[in-house]
Structure 1
Amino acid sequence: MASPVEDDVFGKLKNKADHKQNDDDLNARNFAQHQRSQERLAELIDDNTSLPVTISSVRVLHANRTRRSFLERVVNPILSANRDEQYTLEEALKEVGNATEKLNRFGIFKSPISVFLDRPDPTNPTSSPTDVDVYISAQERGTYTIKTGTEVGSSEGDAYINAELRNLFGGAETLNANASLGTRTRSAYSLAFESPILSNPDFKFQLNGFASSTLKSWASHEEVLRGGNSKLLWRTKNGHQHEFGYSGILRQVTSLAENASPTVRAEAGNSFKSSITHTWINDQRDNPMMPQRGYLAKTVSELAGYGPLKGDVACWKSEAESQVVLPFGDTGITLTAGLRGGLLYPLALGGNSTPQQSRINDRFQLGGPTNVRGFRLCGLGPHDGPDAVGGDVFAAGGASLLFPVPKVGKETPLRLQAFINGGRLLSLKNSNKEGGPMDADAVHSSVKKTLAGLRDGVPSAAAGFGLVYAHPIARFEINFSLPLVIRAKEEARKGLSFGVGVEFL
């Protein structure tokens, strides 16, 4: 026979179980009611998409640090008073959604941004039956973020600290300060200011100052950079990105190794580069780190030391890149193929009629785990003794077949990879028999011969397989590579290699 104490304990436990069951039932009923109300709201909107609507006012709530004039440029265009034609309910909801999405892209508000619609006060004599008030609840993010950490990859490790100040003057301005110390990039400091123009997240101005010291282990020297740049960035309606900028950089080739080659020793010292640049990107891939479909087209052009541009470096430098990604149905298997090429064309500096020879700071480098795999970092192209001295013309291409890891699934950002890639990197051939400076005609002839030389023989190439992981910040690859074609003086790398980056061939 149970004691009164035992009966009391079992009774309390039963009451608790009953209360929990009641709470679960209540939550289930509330959730079902919410779902039904959402469905009724969707049906109501669907049944009234052609209903005439007038947006009489738009109010942005909780944006206390953001300037009123800044917000007005975003929301005023959707007011009916600023339109010639009347809205339908469908059109009004679409325009409100576009304005909300624009606010979200400034990066100063917490996501998601909520939108509420309400009828105005019916006792107001100025209101009409079609009037609707729009309320946008935009909670502002914190004024600053500080990050510290370490990074390892591509033969380099470093520690960094980053500080970001947001919405400095109430117009989505950002100030970003960064400092890092590492093994290859021994030190790097930068201070960047960015501001949207006319409250447009697709039209921005940037001002950046920086200083860095990088050990160029493949060329027996250290490069020290100090300078700044300014940029205008804009995105078109069809998704094309443009970047136009000016930069002034003091470069120093210093701390030469004891076994530095004569080519590197001749480059030692200071140079000042004054240049304008333009970058165009058309990225239609669904994911830049591990795309499943789409294509990429990109060009980068730079003009230095020509006309009003000062400094002691004069050249035209151009690069082009393309990539296409083809899926094999819904299997998660994709074929990625890409091509890259570049040309460095020396120009005459100022009133001098003799074009300059290119400098090691400006020449292209090729080879490594993020471009032509199976070769050491900067292992392709011209070498002088132990040093990779770079080239003026290059072409590279590759293809990768990515497929899901068995028992892991195609939904994960993990893939197996089989690849083949290759490339050529050449320096301009000096047509002057005496080896001295070339005139403009000789340079033009040399460029044509060098471009034709890209087709001479089989390019340096390698094949292999590996594992790829696509993180939202960077892509990680570990591959086993087997060099297939190695040209004289080039440095191949057979076996395992590890690569971290944003752009891969």
Structure 2
Amino acid sequence: MGAGQAKTRKQPQGVAKPSDGVSIDLDTVPVRVENVKINGLSRTKDDYVSQSVQELFKATTFNELVFKASVVQGKLEKLGCFRDVGIIIDVSDSSPDGYEVIYNVRESGRFVGGINTMIGANEGSLVLGCRLPNILGRGERINLEHTIGSDSNKSSLLTAVKPLGGSWNADISGTLFHHKNPAYWSSYTVFSTGALLDFAFESAQKVRHNMQWEGAWRQLEASSRQTSFAVREQSGHSFKSSLRHIMTVDHRDHPIFPSSGVLLKLVQEYAGLGGDVAFVKHDSELQANIPLPHNLVLQGALRFGVLRPLDARDSTHNISDLFFLGGPQTVRGFEMRSLGARSGSDALGGKAYWASAVHLYMPLPFGFGRGSFGEYFRTHAFVNAGNINDSSFNTEDFAQSFQTMMKDFRASYGIGVAIRLGQLARIEINYCWPYRFSKGDRLVRGVQLGLGIDFL
């Protein structure tokens, strides 16, 4: 049977058939799950999949059984071992209210390769990849990817992942990488080669943690003859060894067009475990969505970040470690990452920033496309504000840093259309009016196009 279907061979005792014209309240039909079978296992170990089906035995009504069977189906699909997972719910012959649940699975091949596209920060990429799934039978996998971006970005990754499972849904991974990241807004290119270790787990429902160590040898180069001296003097090699903690709390009902729920993301990084790069960096994001009548959604979002060098010398970090602000994904109505201090035509970034947004999202006018293609579109009106500079936010000068950050902030407003691309990315076509800006800011008055995953 196809995935998500449920089949019964006979009606539970005491419940009339639908052809009799009697409605059935599935919440009153008693259920006791006596057996769960998974057909089609070859390489996959029984103990690895059994932990995903335990909650089926807690079902007490037929409605609850159907819901839990669907949840378990999703868990089995996320294990990364199967190409297809089908469900059969059958009545047991041993007792009147006994049931058994059968999952028919097809395991993934030993080698999977392909060519895909990926969307980043206002750019598209072509991804050439291959992976070895379920190598040892418990979800272990090795991925090899090479990515070519439309802005001359390139990266190569070799990743090994070992799921640990358990109530924390944990896994551990190791990655070897080589990145080429041009920064056209500052006229430099940085090459990074190194390794990343990641331990991921859930401390509570929808609360995800990533504990990471990264070691990277970096080479920063001026990308043109017009690169300013302020950027050019930071060229050269550096080695960064850092610990990073990422906590994501996501209670939204949809990742792209949420109508309710809250997102909180906190990132802390400590660089200085060897090497010549030493700083502490904090970055945070808060988003709240409030449903309103007539399918309207009011969304508010705030981001804040600060970098503090661990040494008074500027050589303990370079421009690639700093924050940048501006563009269709942060403060709309300004060019990409163009806000803050400049040297000639190059943006210099900053050690601290804040950015905020208020949106009013609406479906397409007059119910156009409702229930079909219209679900991929939202119109919105927005107000953006933010600022970036080198405020330190140390304890002794916190108040002064706050006042500096609130002085001469940039702001814009506008209207536009957002288009959902699958469940991860979106396109925005906005008409922007910057109304608060500083001398030297690069404005985008009128139409601005945004493409990416992470929008403020």
Q: TM-score range by the shorter chain?
A: 0.7 to 0.9
- Check the 8 A contact 1:383/1:490 in 2, yes or no: no
Say if 2:138 is the partner of 1:171. yes
Partner residue, 2:274: 310
User: Are 2:355 and 1:400 aligned?
Assistant: no
Query: Which residue, out of 435, 442, 448, partners 1:484?
Result: 435
- Corresponding residue number in structure 2 for 1:61: 39
Contact 1:400 1:420 in 2 (8 A): yes
Cα shift at 1:384 = 1.6
**2:302 is the alignment partner of 1:339:** yes
TM-superposed CA distance for 1:186, in Å, is 3.4
The Cα offsets for residues 167-188 of structure 1, whole Å up to 9 and x where unpaired, read as 2221122322221223424321
Deviation at 1:133, TM superposition (A): 5.4
**2: CA distance between counterparts of 1:79 and 1:443?**
52
- Residue 26 of structure 2 contacts residue 63 of structure 2 at CA under 8 Å; is this kept in 1? no
Distance 2:229 2:246 in 1: 35
Q: Please name the residue that 1:456 is paired with.
A: 407
Q: Displacement, 1:413?
A: 1.6
Partner of 2:78: 105
Q: How far does residue 112 in structure 1 lie from its aligned partner after superposition? A: 4.5
Letter in 2 for 1:393: A
The amino acid across from 2:292 in the alignment is F
Cα distance in structure 2, aligned partners of 1:185 and 1:347: 33
Question: Does the 8 A contact of 1:333 with 1:404 survive in 2?
Answer: yes
Map 1:389-468 to 2 at 5 A.
389-407=348-366, 408-411=368-371, 412-428=375-391, 445=396, 449-457=400-408, 459-468=409-418
Matches within 5 A, 1:88-487: 93=65, 99-117=72-90, 119=92, 134-149=101-116, 156-198=123-165, 202-305=169-272, 309-329=273-293, 331-348=294-311, 358-407=317-366, 408-411=368-371, 412-428=375-391, 445=396, 449-457=400-408, 459-472=409-422, 473-487=424-438
TM-score, length of structure 2 as denominator length: 0.84
TM-score by length of 1: 0.77
Give the Å deviation of 1:71: 2.8
- The aligned length equals 435
Residue in structure 2 matched with residue 24 of structure 1 by the alignment: none
Quote the offset at 1:425 in angstroms: 0.1
Q: Is the 8 A contact 1:376 1:493 kept in 2?
A: yes
Distance 2:289 2:68 in 1: 33
Cα deviations across residues 348-393 of structure 1 (Å, max 9, x unaligned)?
A: 4xxxx97865421111000111111111111111112211111011
Distance 1:45 1:419 in 2: 45
CA contact (8 A) 1:175 1:193 kept: yes
Residue 7 (structure 2) aligns with: none
After TM superposition, give the deviation of residue 226 of structure 1 in Å. 0.9
Shift, 1:428, TM fit: 3.9
Q: Is the 8 A contact 1:171 1:199 kept in 2?
A: no
Larger radius of gyration: 1
The separation in 2 between residues aligned to 1:287 and 1:322, in whole angstroms, is: 15
**8 A Cα contact 2:69 2:87, kept in partner:** no
Change (3 A) 1:336 1:39: farther
Q: 1:79 to 1:270 in 2, by over 3 A?
A: same
Check conservation: 2:148, 2:154, Cα contact below 8 A.
yes
SS in 2 for 1:482: strand
Instruction: Note if contact 2:259-2:297 (Cα within 8 Å) is conserved in structure 1.
Output: yes
Deviation track 1:301-336 (CA, whole Å, cap 9, x = no partner) reads 11110xxx111111110011111112222x222222
Q: Percent identity of the aligned residues?
A: 27
Letter in 1 for 2:278: A
**Structure 1: 5+ residue stretches without partners:** 1-32, 81-85, 123-127, 430-441
3-state SS of the aligned residue for 2:145? strand
Offset from partner CA, 1:413-441 (integer Å, 9 cap, x none): 21222211021001147xxxxxxxxxxxx
RMSD of the alignment, in Å? 3.3
How far off is 1:142 after superposition?
Answer: 4.0
Question: CA 1:155–1:67 in structure 2 vs 1: closer, same or farther (change >3 Å)?
Answer: closer
* Residue 471 of structure 1, CA deviation: 1.6
For residues 186-219 of structure 1, what are the alpha-carbon distances to aligned partners after superposition, in whole Å with 9 as ceiling and x for unaligned?
A: 3211122222104668211121121111221111
> 2: CA distance between counterparts of 1:254 and 1:39?
75
The structure with the greater share of residues assigned to helix is 1
The 2-side partners of 1:42 and 1:201 are apart by 41
The whole-number CA distance in structure 2 between the counterparts of 1:87 and 1:327 is 32
